[in-house]
């Protein structure tokens, strides 16, 4: 599903990611671990096509990012703090996002909001959401089109214990369908429970790759 070959990223003549190579097969969950500034988020942005790599190749489902396609077609994405239109409700936000590709309708939007623990009939604007509610809405927008690949940057942040357990179980069911996940988490238990492989990053380099 994902293949990264000799990836380098330089910004303002400073290297951010250096000589990264790895592959993630279908039906696998790969965890990125490392301290702040290790390169986890920047790597995810490169793989998703948000930031073009300086050198190397990123191949997703057989297509080269930046050459064959600008962005992966079958990708659900949540990187850093999810951004929404504050004066709109969660349902209205997802409806507006879904209109870009027109793959899903109102019924699926209501279904996914319920799935993540939000009431699809709630009129409250996103501005009044708690951090946990915003995180659940971010997860909803990533999964609503049922993509083949998910990239999730710290998806467990701001979730309560019930939300963490739900998301872990959901991701394992998603993997069982033959789909793939790239995720980062500072919580070692998230990584232990979920991941088939773990990529350890330090200062923009791969320090170790562990197959579980």
pTM summary value = 0.94
The structure tokens listed for 138 are 């971010």
Residue 186 is given by DSSP the state: S
pLDDT tens-place string over residues 174-198: 999 999 999 999 999 999 999 999 9
Q: Sign of the CA dihedral 148, 154, 157, 163?
A: positive
Q: Residue 6 pLDDT more than 80?
A: yes
Count the alpha carbons within 13 Å of 206 in the hemisphere toward its beta carbon: 18
Give the strands of the sheet with 55-60, arranged side by side.
14-24, 2-11, 55-60, 63-64
For the chain, what are the domain ranges?
A: 1-74+147-212, 84-146
pLDDT tens-place string over residues 37-85: 999 999 999 999 999 999 999 999 999 999 999 988 889 999 987 789 9
The structure tokens listed for 23 are 């592959």
The third-level CATH classification (topology) of the domain covering 1-74+147-212 is: Rossmann fold (3.40.50)
Contact assessment for residue 181 and residue 14, using Cβ atoms and an 8 Å cutoff: no
Tell me how far CA of residue 93 lies from CA of 29, 50, 105, 110, in angstroms. Answer: 28, 21, 13, 12
Q: What is the mean pLDDT of residues 72-101?
A: 92
């Amino acid at each position: 599903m994902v293949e990264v070959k000799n990836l380098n990223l330089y910004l303002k003549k400073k290297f951010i990611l250096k000589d990264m190579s790895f592959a993630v097969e279908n039906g696998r969950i790969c965890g990125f671990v490392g301290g702040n500034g290790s390169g986890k988020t920047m790597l995810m942005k490169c793989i998703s096509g948000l930031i073009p790599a300086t050198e190397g190749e990123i191949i997703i489902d057989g297509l080269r990012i930046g050459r064959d396609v600008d962005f992966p077609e079958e990708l659900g994405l949540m990187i850093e703090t999810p951004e929404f239109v504050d004066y709109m409700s969660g349902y209205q936000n997802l409806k507006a996002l879904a209109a870009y590709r027109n793959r899903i309708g109102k019924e699926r939007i209501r279904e996914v909001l319920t799935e993540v623990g939000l009431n699809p009939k709630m009129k409250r604007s996103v501005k009044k959401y708690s951090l946990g509610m915003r995180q659940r809405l971010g997860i909803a927008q990533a999964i609503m089109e049922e993509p083949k690949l998910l990239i999730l940057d710290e998806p467990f942040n701001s979730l309560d214990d019930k939300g963490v357990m739900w998301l872990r179980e959901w991701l394992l069911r998603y993997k069982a369908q033959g789909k793939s996940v790239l995720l980062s988490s500072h919580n070692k238990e998230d990584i232990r429970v979920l991941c088939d492989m773990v990529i350890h990053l330090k200062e923009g380099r791969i320090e170790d790759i562990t197959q579980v």
